[in-house]
Structure 1
Amino acid sequence: MLDNWWRDGLLPATGGSLPFGGFLRCKFCTMALGAIVFLPILPVSASNIEKAVQAAVANHPEISRDQANASAATQAIDEASSTYLPRLDIEGAGGFELTDSPSTRATDENTRDLVRSEGSFTLTQRLFDGFDTSSRVASARARKGAAESFVGETIHRISLLAVTLYLDVLRNRTFLKAAEWNTAIHAELAGQVRELKRSGRGVGTDVDQADTRLALAESERERFRGELRAVKARYFEVVGEGAIDLTRPDLPDFDRPATADDAVAAAEASHPRIQTALNVQHALQADVNTQRAAYFPQVNLEAIGSTAGNRDGVPGQDSDFNGRVRGTYNIFNGLGDLARVRGSRNRAQAATADVLEAKRITRENVRVAYEQLITAERRLKPLRAQIGAAKRVVYGYRNQFKIGQRTLLDLLDAQNELFQARLSKVDGEFRVLLGIYELMAAIGKLPNHFNIEEKPVAQQSGR
């Protein structure tokens, strides 16, 4: 059985693992982890990971929160636009009135008791407000755009997190299976070494060495099992579904930019981080004009009507109506308007800096993702070559161990080198796979790849 495992390979090419590079800490997990690499690869499907990402976007509360904020921003446009329409106020009152005045005292009664009633209306249409309304509408529209772009940012982040956890579950599952095989092989090897000692062909130190490696293999198996449970828990919290029947996806069908500069240009044209910063900048620039409205007069068209009965001790009904154009202009208010304008300009300048920073971060992320992907792809060929060389060493050491030319420790160390080579190869393959998704996210194309709509489902504006 050991001969077959050592001869036929180590890890399945479909594996899951620890977080990237983390499993390389397993320095002495030897022997039969090798027995799994060339097992048949499970059927692959891109739809599984697509469904997982779609479920994460549909279920994650951060996205629901940001969509609600985008809906609220839509209503803010209606609120700002309301000043374009006329305003109508009505007032009415009625009750007992006792009047004691020179006119009533001139009569025999001295005072007069009457039931008084009155009503009025005021219809106001703003004609000019120093561009306050138009500026507030522009600001509200820009804030709505920023809220929608922020939804896109959150969708990108959750999508990439779901992809990362999906692949992490696959790696950890495979490495747990590998650790279980590894423990079984160490147990069988320890038994065979004990049998050799009992027959007089072995030594006690070989038994101790085999038992030491068996204990370490069991410890590593439990570590892999715990890490799988942890990543499954994270997967469930992010995706909203259990990590069941996950299949390894094919390499994504991605129209990759030819150069890093092309990738940067694509990101600057569409990444939601930049769009959010630009919309916030536009909103704050509009706020400057909103504050500057205080420098202008305000002109309204007013229609005012009133009617009253038994007012001021005079029996009977009287009514009046007037229409007018009314203008008001504040001359001085303690320099408060000037301070508000200056403050809004400073905030607009800060928003301009935020746009530059958003572009810088986006460029950095794109270039890093692009170079990391190229590095991961270039590493695959030497990693695969390393496996072939390490496998030949293990096979030769195995034969030499049988005839006493190699010690058990030599064989275990050689097997460990092959095991590490297999882990590096699997790690390299997953780095390429995740690297493509990370480049998509850096450019701003990841949700589109999974057929996810980035714009929020918001309430329709009334205007």
Structure 2
Amino acid sequence: MTRYWVRAFLSGLALSAATAMLTVTASADKLFGAMEKAYVTNPTLNAARAGQRATDELVPQALSGWRPTISVFGEVSRTRSSKEGVPIITPDGPDVDSVAINNATSGNVSIQLSQPLFRGFGTVNQTKSAEARVDAGKQNLLATEQQVLFDVVQAYMDVYAGRQYVVLRRQDVSALEAQVKAARDRFAVGEITRTDVAQAQARLAESQSFLVNAQTDLARAVASYVQMVGQEPGKLSYPKVVSIPNSLKMALDVAGEINPQLLAQAFVEVARNSDISVAFSNLLPSADLVASAAGSDPDFAQSKDRSSAVQVGAQLTIPLYEAGAVYSQVRQAKQLASQSRIQVIEVARAVRQAVASSWNAYVGLAQIIKNTRTQVSAAQLALNGVQQEYQAGTRTTLDVLDAQRDLVQAQVLQVTAERNRVVSGYQLLAAIGHLTAVEVGLKVPIYDPDANYKRVRNKWIGTDVKTVE
């Protein structure tokens, strides 16, 4: 049954993809449009939001340490007893061989209330720990949002560049097919040798292989795009260059303040420090206010035996020795807090490296694009000149083939550099912490993680939740 459901689900996906291919409009898909669709529909992001809503419940669970617990206990029993040889008066006189049977129904009910008064400051610190973990979860949700949007940028640019590669490879194949035909014609009239024809054929076979590879890479890029966005890409347009900080120092300063991964780890450190106090609270006294009421009836048939009692009191518990377990838990919490402090430094260094790397890549690619454009223009002029000289008999077939290869390689380098610059720009935004729907300016309803947190923080009762299937 499970395998059938999986096959049906995958078949549905394939049908949806095929339908999307048939209904693609002629208008160009924009990068922001793809990001907006992913922001709303991407399952990875929606799952992370659900996970954060679950994390929100840590706070009401911690606050429950201030609240009373109430329990009710009830019991009803039926007793049947008998005794032989008990004299029973009958119309014919006493019967000493009779059996006396006694049936009785008894019951009791009690209700108990326990109100915590003091827990060694454990509830206070557990609440602080839970609040810090919720804050860390919000930052992790932002990090997931950034990763999803960056993956969309990569998928978008991979499809855009992949299509350019396929066009270039097809043009190269067409040019080499013409070159092979020309070589065969010249060989037929004795102007060139069979070696020249073989060289042209070898280059054509190589170019055809490159075309197959480009088509394969494009298909893979389209699949990634569908995975991230949820539909087939239409006619994509080259996105505008993103706005980035004016200097590397500015970028590093901003990242140190708002990078979600760094902030998340900082909140984890706060939570771990509170965990030390939570563990230590088990070594301190605790006090509770206890109230109870109970009633019992040994025989429902005789109301005179009913009884009831009400009791109110306070309980004080002073731990003397907990078999060493609590001491171990305190030491463990201290080591985990130390680990978190070290991990803050680790994440800060990783963020700095990511910002510096993407910044230098973005700046360097501007010059690389300029150089590749010059290279393409020069390679085109060189190919035209070599072809004319080839017709005049002063250049060989290999010279033409090399010039054609140089042009295609320059064009591929240009497309690659243009693709990489867009990706590195958005990678820099992600490293800083600016690749979010709010910072980028996506026209979508912004998901507010605080809404669910405020709804459940002080909730005392109820199991209803808002879920996304």
Residue in structure 1 matched with residue 62 of structure 2 by the alignment: 80
Task: Work out whether residues 114 and 315 of structure 1, in 8 Å CA contact, stay in contact via their aligned partners in 2.
Answer: no
2:379 is matched with which residue? 390
What is the deviation of 1:273? 0.5
**Cross-structure match for 1:302:** 290
Q: Secondary structure of 1:327's partner?
A: strand
Q: Which of 48, 53, 69 is the equivalent residue of 1:66?
A: 48
The one-letter code matched in structure 2 to 1:121 is I
Give the structure 1 partner of residue 36 of structure 2.
54
The answer to whether the aligner puts 1:179 opposite 2:169 as a matched pair is: yes
* Cα pair 2:56 2:457 within 8 Å, conserved: no
Residues 113-146 of structure 1: CA deviation (Å, up to 9, x unaligned): 6432222221222111111112222122222222
Q: Deviations over 1:57-76 (max 9, x none)?
A: 43333323322221111122
Cα shift readout 1:236-285 (whole Å, capped 9, x = no counterpart): 22322112222221212x1x222222111111111111122122112221
Indicate yes or no: 2:199 matched with 1:209: yes
Partner of 1:18: none
Q: Distance in 1 between matches of 2:266 and 2:132?
A: 9
Aligned ranges for residues 340-419 of structure 1 at < 5 Å?
A: 340-419=329-408
The one-letter amino acid paired with 2:44 is: E
SS at structure 2 position matched to 1:221: helix
| Aligned pairs (5 A) from 1:6-17 | none
CA 1:145–1:461 in structure 2 vs 1: closer, same or farther (change >3 Å)? same
State how far apart, in whole Å, the 1-side matches of 2:252 and 2:204 are: 51
1:130 matched to which residue of 2? 120
Choose which of 418, 421, 438 in structure 2 pairs with 1:432.
421
Structure 1, residues 151-208: CA drift from partner, whole Å, max 9, x if none?
2111211211111111011111111112112212222222222222333434333222
Q: SS at the partner of 1:241?
A: coil
3-state SS of paired residue (2:306): strand
1:292 aligns with 2:299: no
> What fraction of aligned residue pairs are identical, expressed as a percent?
23
Q: CA deviation at 1:367?
A: 0.8
The equivalences for 1:74-223 within 5 A come to 74-97=56-79, 114-223=104-213
Please say if residues 54 and 450 of structure 1, whose CA atoms lie closer than 8 Å, have aligned partners that are also in contact.
no
Question: Does the CA contact (< 8 Å) of 2:295 and 2:309 recur in 1?
Answer: yes
Distance, in Å, in 2 between the alignment partners of 1:112 and 1:343 is 63
Does structure 1 conserve the Cα–Cα contact (< 8 Å) formed by 2:115 and 2:289? Answer: yes
Q: How many residues align?
A: 410
Letter in 2 for 1:130: G
CA deviations 1:325-354 (Å, max 9, x no partner) are: 221111112222111111111111111111
CA contact (8 A) 1:66 1:147 kept: no
TM-score (structure 2 length as normaliser) = 0.81
Distance in 2 (CA, whole Å) between partners of 1:205 and 1:335 is: 87
Contact 1:67 1:458 in 2 (8 A): no
Kept in 1: contact 2:200–2:401 (CA 8 A): no
Q: Provide the rounded CA distance (Å) in 2 between the counterparts of 1:461 and 1:314.
A: 47
Counterpart residue number, 1:421: 410
On the 8 A contact 1:75/1:461 being kept in 2, the answer is: yes
- Paired position in structure 2 for 1:264: 252
| Secondary structure at the counterpart of residue 323 of structure 2 | coil
Which piece of structure 1 moves more, 110-119 or 371-380?
110-119
**DSSP 3-state at the match of 1:373:** helix
Q: What is the alpha-carbon distance in structure 1 between the residues aligned to residue 165 and residue 369 of structure 2?
A: 19
Q: Is the 8 A contact 2:27 2:234 kept in 1?
A: no
Aligned-pair Cα RMSD in Å: 2.8
Contact 1:140 1:283 in 2 (8 A): yes
Q: What CA distance in whole angstroms lies between the structure 2 residues aligned with 1:153 and 1:239?
A: 18
- Contact persistence 1:179–1:220 (CA under 8 A): yes
- Conservation of the 8 A alpha-carbon contact between 1:149 and 1:455: no
Taking structure 1 as the reference length, the TM-score comes to: 0.81
Take 2:377 and 2:170, find their aligned partners in 1: how far apart are those partners?
A: 24
What's the offset of the Cα at 1:462? 4.6
**Mean Cα deviation higher: 426-435 or 287-296:** 426-435
Instruction: Kindly indicate whether structure 1 or structure 2 has the higher relative contact order, using CA contacts under 8 Å at least 6 residues apart.
Output: 1
> SS state of the match for residue 322, structure 1?
strand
Q: 5+ unaligned residues in a row in structure 1: which ranges?
A: 1-42, 101-109
Matched position secondary structure for 1:446: coil
CA offsets per residue over residues 213-247 of structure 1, 9 Å max, x none? 22222222212111111221222223221122222
Distance in 1 between residues matched to 2:377 and 2:237, nearest whole Å: 27
Say which SS state the counterpart of residue 305 (structure 1) adopts: strand
Partner Cα distance (2:213, 2:63) in 1: 61
- Whole-Å Cα distance in 2 between the matches of residues 377 and 389 of structure 1? 19
Q: Does the CA-based 8 Å contact 2:365-2:421 persist in structure 1? A: yes
Q: How much does 1:425 deviate? A: 2.4
Shift in alpha-carbon separation, 1:440–1:183, aligned structure 2, 3 A = same
After the TM superposition, which of the residue ranges 226-235 and 262-271 deviates more from structure 2? 226-235
Distance 1:406 1:375 in 2: 37
Query: CA distance change for structure 1 residues 218 and 379 in 2, over 3 Å: closer, same or farther?
Result: closer
C-alpha displacement at 1:455, in angstroms? 5.1
1:328 and 2:310 correspond: no
Once the two structures are superposed, residues 268-327 of structure 1 have per-residue CA deviations (whole angstroms, 9 ceiling, x without a partner) of: 11111112212211222121111111122111122222222238x995122221222221
SS in 1 for 2:456: coil
